[in-house]
Amino acid sequence: MKRRKLLQNGTKVSEVGLGCMSFAGFYGATSEAEAHRTLAAALDMGVNFLDTANIYGMGVSENIIGSFLKGDDTKFVIATKGAVWDNPETGKRGFNNSCDHLRAELELSLTRLQVEQVALYYIHRRAPEIEIEQVMETLLAFKAEGKIGGIGFSEISPASLRRACAVGPVDAVQSEYSLWARYPDLGMLQTCAELDVTFVPFSPLGRGIFALHTPDPARFKDGDFRKGTPRFTEPNFGYNVARVRAFKALANDLGSHPVTLAISWCLNRGPHLIPIPGTRSAEHLAECAAASDFPMTPEIMARIETTLPVGWAHGDRYTTQQWIGPEGYC
């Protein structure tokens, strides 16, 4: 597995990481044993970059990783997140970027992961009532204390990134990015490249739409993140499946798996991208990891763009409620 730079200090990781949200059952039931098999397979494949968060199963994902590590922080480079919380006064989910809240959540994450430091700590969502400069000061303090190795933000705008970088080094920005979610092409990829910030695409497989077997929305369980989202709801879903069918035919013509081709496209959008496909299956992870060795060419990239041009997807990627938090910028 090839390596790419993740942190400003030169830390390199596998150019394909592993998103661990599915360990908490976001896309169907799983078990700790199955997740541990996937983590062991990741090491065998050379995948050493894990992405998790405190709210994935309210600590379940972090606990599973911690029980696998058993205090050995040399196996993986780990990124986790804080700032999303359930407000005890209102009972509603919101965002808290205060120093006290972030410190408390970071300590809980470290305990669950059974490590003394996480390589990268993201602000999962910005809370607009606290300026990003103040949030940066909090994160820089955590870094000085040795609790985090690098600083990241999730789903922020290029303008917010510039403000943050004016205070101190930002190591990574995470946003949804794939062949069916191209919003970061409108400025974020370019800004990250300019400021030497790693861009970490989550859901690079379109929440399963590029899998060999097309997901069936009728079988989505309660709690499945995709249930009710516009792109997985008819008539949008039928239109999307028809367009993706052509992409899968292209992958077949190239002797590739559609998962491998979709992630290879992502890797070839810039040397500062490190996609983190999520899976709870070692078999599926192998399809993702194979993208590191796929012989991509400009001609193949052009064929992909012709098959799935910018803006091809039908329906929004989020519901109105899910759009609360991500920053818009175009």
**Inter-CA distances, 319 with 227, 231, 240, 316, Å:** 10, 9, 17, 7
φ/ψ of 277, rounded to 5, equals: -60, 140
How far is it, in rounded angstroms, from Cα 90 to Cα 203? Answer: 30
Instruction: Give which of 138, 157, 183 is closest to 318, Cα–Cα.
Output: 183
Count of beta carbons in the 10 Å neighbourhood of residue 313:
22
Residue 115 to residues 57, 84, 106, 112, 266: CA-CA distances in angstroms? 19, 21, 11, 8, 31
Q: DSSP state, 153? A: E
3-state secondary structure 43-107: HHHCCCEEECCCCCCCCHHHHHHHHHHCCCCCCCEEEEEECEEECCCCCCEEECCCHHHHHHHHH
The answer to whether 147 and 109 have CB atoms below 8 angstroms apart is: no
Question: Largest Cα–Cα distance in the chain?
Answer: 56
Q: Return the active site residues.
A: 56
Separation CA 302–CA 271 (nearest Å): 18
